[in-house]
Amino acid sequence: MSTRRVEVRTQRPYELRLGRGIAGESLAAARRRSRFAVLTDERVWALHGERFGAGDAPVVIVPAGESSKSFARLETVLDALAEARLDRKSCLVAFGGGVVGDLGGLAAALYMRGIDVLQCPTTLLAQVDSSVGGKTAVNLAAGKNLAGAFHQPSGVWIDVDLLATLDDADYASGLGEVIKSAVLAGEEDFARLEANAEALLARDPDLLLDVIEACVRQKASVVESDEHEAGPRRALNLGHTLGHAIERAAGFGRVPHGVAVAVGMQQACLRSAQEGVLQDRDLPRRLMSLCRRLKLPTGLEELRESTGAALTEGELADAMRLDKKGAVWILPVRLGEVRAVEPRRPS
């Protein structure tokens, strides 16, 4: 099967490659640099390290999970890059999910004031979202992704074969972002998910290639128009205002990111209807139905029951006030169109 290619035309253009069994191609690109290192996590390395084939390159392995997105872990990674004697012409290969991609991207942005990072995402969430667009960050106690930088990758390799080993929770998290992308793209993309929900759940590789390519093309078009999130790129935050609040209130890592985003999208639909923004009155029903078919929670109450997290209105309101997005809601108007609504100011 041939490799698919998508160009991201930012100030420093780069290419995404999609295919089956192509993860090792990122190492071939890295070997053309003066030196390189690989950043990964314990789970990914145990599953795929031998096949990935880093050879004698330095491999920095961090614990799996959201706890690795911290300043303490960032410092450990930076020290490892220095110990490996990487120079300004070197690069870092981020081989893992969103945590590894975010952490590696920020480490590359900071090391020697910026070296190249090559992203090889291993989760559906990272393949359709976080590996594209150059957002890098670690978490603070006050909120998710509050310390970071924009640092576009020099290349992205998306290997759908890596998704076969994902557990169901991580796969469901990616499906939340897949749905978000389809809502932003419009009727054709959303209808494709509705028509193929069961095959998508079964991880059909040919369908996954089509769906992931649609997601990254949609995100690339938004990123190209607004590289540093000055305006139009805020649309990508659909579902994230409440989604990030859910993650924080529950305790980072307890509710997968894409699952929280799926619930956040459904609440955004309801709020859009309440505020007279929503023009497609059937969208809340279709969105809830698709989430149900893809084994995602259909609302806050179901999420509370499945996780045991209280997620009270007070906890969520406090978390939204601390979020870097300033509690701006992205509300659907119809499939393919959203509107940013600023929080109401006290009179």
Which residue is catalytic, options 177, 180, 227, 325? 177
Residue 180, domain extent: 167-341
Catalytic residue flag (residue 325)? no
Which of 229, 302, 315, 337 is an active site residue?
229
In this structure, the answer to whether residues 110 and 228 fall within a common structural domain is: no
Residues 155 and 284 in one domain: no
Q: How many domains does the chain have?
A: 2
pLDDT of amino acid 321: 80
- For residues 82 and 228, state if they share a domain: no
* Beta strand 155-159 pairing with 116-121: parallel
b/e per residue, 35-60, with b = 16+ CB within 10 A? Answer: bbbbbbbebbbeebbeebebeeebbb
Supply the pLDDT for residue 347. 42
Catalytic position from the list 69, 219, 248, 325 = 219
* Of the residues 164, 182, 200, the one at which a domain ends: 164
Same domain, 235 and 277: yes
* Same-domain check for residues 159 and 177: no
Q: Are residues 46 and 156 in the same domain?
A: yes
- pLDDT cut 90: percent of the chain above it: 87
Q: Is 346 part of any domain? A: no
Tokens 């924080």, residue?
248
For residues 69 and 98, the answer to whether their CB atoms sit within 8 Å is no
Known catalytic residue at 48? no
Instruction: Say yes or no: 147 and 177 in one domain.
Output: no
Q: By CB neighbour count within 10 A (0-12 exposed, 13-18 middle, 19+ buried), where does 281 fall?
A: exposed
Question: Is 347 a member of any domain?
Answer: no
Question: Given a cut of 80, is residue 215 above it in pLDDT?
Answer: yes
Write down the catalytic residue from 233, 247, 248, 325. 233
- pLDDT of the residue at 252: 84
Query: What's the rounded mean pLDDT across residues 173-181?
Result: 97
In the residue annotation, 151 being an active-site residue is answered as no
Mean pLDDT confidence for 194-200: 98
Decide if 244 is catalytic.
yes
> Tell me, what CATH number does 211's domain have?
1.20.1090.10
Are residue 150 and residue 245 in the same domain, yes or no? Answer: no
What does the pLDDT look like over 235-294, one tens digit per residue? Answer: 999 999 999 999 989 988 899 999 999 999 999 999 999 999 999 999 999 999 999 999
Q: Does residue 333 share a domain with residue 244?
A: yes
DSSP string for residues in 59-70? EEEE-SSGGGSS
Q: Among 173, 146, 177, 168, which Cα is nearest to 265's?
A: 177
Bridge-based pairing of strands 135-140 and 143-150 is: antiparallel
Please identify, among 117, 145, 164, the residue that sits at the C-terminal boundary of a domain.
164
Tell me the pLDDT tens digit for each residue of 102-160. 999 999 999 999 999 999 999 999 999 999 999 999 999 887 888 999 999 999 999 99
Instruction: Return the pLDDT at 346.
Output: 46
Q: Are 313 and 280 in contact (CB under 8 A)?
A: no
Region 198-208: mean pLDDT is 97
Same domain, 288 and 229: yes
Distance, in Å, from the CA atom of 70 to the CA atom of 34, rounded to the nearest integer, reads 28
pLDDT of residue 300: 94
In a domain, 80, yes or no: yes
Report the C-alpha gap between 37 and 34 in whole angstroms: 11
Q: What are phi and psi of 341, to 5 degrees?
A: -120, 120
Residues in the chain: 347
Residue 199 lies in a domain: yes
SS3 state at 219: helix
How large is the average pLDDT for residues 12-23? 96
Catalytic pick from 69, 180, 240, 325?
A: 240
Active site residue 237: yes
CATH, residue 115: 3.40.50.1970
Q: Is 135 a catalytic residue?
A: yes
Q: Are 12 and 116 in contact (CB under 8 A)?
A: no
Do 150 and 187 sit in the same domain of this protein? no
86 three-state secondary structure: coil
> Domain ends where: 119, 134, 164?
164
Same domain, 181 and 160: no
The answer as to whether 144 is a domain residue is yes
